[in-house]
Amino acid sequence: MPETLQLSNPAPLTTLTEDEILFRDNVRQFADDKIRPLAKEMDEKAVFDHGLIEQFFQLGLMGIEIPEQYGGAGGKFFEAILAVEECSRADASAGVIVDVQNTLVVNAILRWANEDQKKRYLPKMAADTLGAYALSEAGSGSDAFALQTKAELKGGDYVLNGRKLWITNGKEAGLFILFATIDASKGYKGITAFLIEKNFPGFTVGKKEDKLGIRASSTCELILEDCRVPKENVLGEAGKGYKIAIETLNEGRIGIGAQMLGVARGAWECAAKYAQERKQFGKPISEFQGIQFQIAQMATEIEAARLMVYNAARMKDAGVDFVKEAAMTKLFTSQVAERVTSLAIEVYGGYGFTKDYPVEKYWRDSKIGKIYEGTSNMQLATIAKLVMGK
């Protein structure tokens, strides 16, 4: 990874610094050269190429914000967002792997872990260990704090029992930030976050889901049967897991925004290129005003989405409150991605409906944007509360 992650104060919203442009272009080139050629096969097999993950680590994409003292790149949140966008432009599954690692797992450890935990885990996260964020359960989706996984302190260990569902990176991850309740009578104030290693006794990765989109990204069940977790692996404070969950997901929503921005850009680029190649009635379909208007509408919405993503990321780096902007970003970008990818299929016509062309995959990959890390309705509820002061 080039030394482009040492950045000064945030640049104006609509511009990137020279270092940011160089970083973005490097990731874009890597995505075009290494990710894109594998995207179709990984989607069909529903397996992410392990060698590609190794290259993510070698390039420093998995520890962008990890300080250099722990082996990371010492960069900012904004670079992580650029990396997610560019990877997602080539393949949304690649984007979400980079996203979860940086915006959820690494961010949570940087903010909430004690020094001993940072020394134990951050060098691994920068070098070779993929992370996962385990909050959801069968009866605990939007109502995240209705989780049933329990943790009981026995001697120097907590003993955990329960199941987690829909955990991204579940198959490949070596470290999990997992949420359980130590006292159900306290409601959300009993929720505690734990750092769980894959080889801890009693911890098992279960079924891998067969999904509509982001198929190469593993989404798995986690099973805890008397899983023993050392007391020193509590992240933050016991009973304060709800705070870690809420605040980390606020940052993660900007990451999902970047992912959806990348998906929309990838689909638009394909459609714009195809419109100039496909001929009907003796001329390229790009010369027909109806197609021109579709391409223009898509480009306008993508630009608006980009400004929202970059603004929210800049706000996070600047240390100002970004909760409303993060919710708006995730809501809007997921809508844009779904609309743009659908229009891209229409530009291709019948060909767009086949798997011989890339746009149907972009459309399938876009749908998850309205669901994970907070559904669109949950984002609307958050936005309404903040703009109405209720």
pLDDT tens per residue, range 17-48: 999 999 999 999 999 999 999 999 999 999 99
Question: What average pLDDT does range 184-207 have in this prediction?
Answer: 96
User: Is pLDDT of 197 > 80?
Assistant: yes
Count the neighbouring beta carbons within 10 Å of the beta carbon of residue 281.
7
The beta strands (E) that lie in the chain are given as 131-134, 150-154, 157-168, 175-181, 191-197, 203-208, 219-230, 234-235, 279-280, 283-284
Are 131 and 175 within 8 A, CB to CB? Answer: yes
Question: What average pLDDT does range 133-150 have in this prediction?
Answer: 91
Residue 330's identity, in one-letter code, is K
- Residue 390 binned pLDDT confidence (cut-offs 50, 70, 90): low
**Coil, helix or strand at residue 244:** helix
Delineate the domains of the chain, giving CATH numbers in brackets: 18-130 (1.10.540.10), 132-239 (2.40.110.10), 242-388 (1.20.140.10)
Count the neighbouring beta carbons within 10 Å of the beta carbon of residue 341.
29
CA–CA distance, 384 with 387 (Å, rounded to integer): 5
Residue 280, CA distances (Å) to 270, 287, 292, 347, 349 in order: 18, 10, 14, 12, 12
228: which strand partners? Answer: 159
Question: What average pLDDT does range 97-125 have in this prediction?
Answer: 98
Question: What average pLDDT does range 85-93 have in this prediction?
Answer: 98
CA–CA distance, 256 with 103 (Å, rounded to integer): 9
- The catalytic residue positions are 373
Dihedral angle over CA of 111, 113, 116, 121, nearest 10:
-90
CA–CA distance, 45 with 61 (Å, rounded to integer): 24
pLDDT, position 145? 82
User: Is pLDDT of 220 > 50?
Assistant: yes
What digits encode the pLDDT tens for the residues 274-308? 999 999 999 999 999 999 999 999 999 999 999 99
What digits encode the pLDDT tens for the residues 333-355? 999 999 999 999 999 999 999 99
Question: What average pLDDT does range 240-248 have in this prediction?
Answer: 94
Are 203 and 227 within 8 A, CB to CB? Answer: yes
pLDDT, position 5? 36
Higher pLDDT, 255 or 10: 255
